[in-house]
Amino acid sequence: MEEAKDWIGKKVNVKIDRALGTKHPDPRFSTIYPINYGYIPGTLSKADNEEIDAYVLGPKKPIKEFIGQVIAVIKREDDEIKLIVTDGADYDIDEIKRITDFQEKYHKSVIVK
């Protein structure tokens, strides 16, 4: 839980690898991304040894990169974390849950704010 709390309030640069409106790259999944999703270059997740992922809330069009503030963190049962990044706008836990449900419904997780 400590790793999750350390991110809240930080300014981050997100490289978008699954832009709004794109299909999940794995053909086993039919997910279409309703928001921009990416990762934080140069980071390493303790759970999966890959860069830390981030949901970008706010932009209503596909983007390639985003600089914003971490307002919350989704911590999955397997210890993987997903950052919630915005342009400074705040979202409550219920809004975050609703917006990220397209992917998070497959995982047991908690939202840390």
The confidence score (pLDDT) of residue 3 equals 72
Count how many domains the chain has.
1
**What residue numbers bound the domain in which 48 lies?**
2-112
Alpha carbon distance 66, 37 (integer Å): 10
Tokens of 53: 């992922």
The mean pLDDT value of the chain amounts to 94
- What would the pLDDT profile of 20-38 be if each residue is shown by its tens digit? 999 998 899 889 999 999 9
CATH code for position 77: 3.90.80.10
The pTM assigned to this predicted structure is 0.94
- What would the pLDDT profile of 53-84 be if each residue is shown by its tens digit? 999 999 999 999 999 999 999 999 988 999 99
CA angle in degrees (0–180, nearest 5) for 56-59-61:
115
Alpha carbon distance 40, 15 (integer Å): 6
Give percent of the chain above pLDDT 90: 81
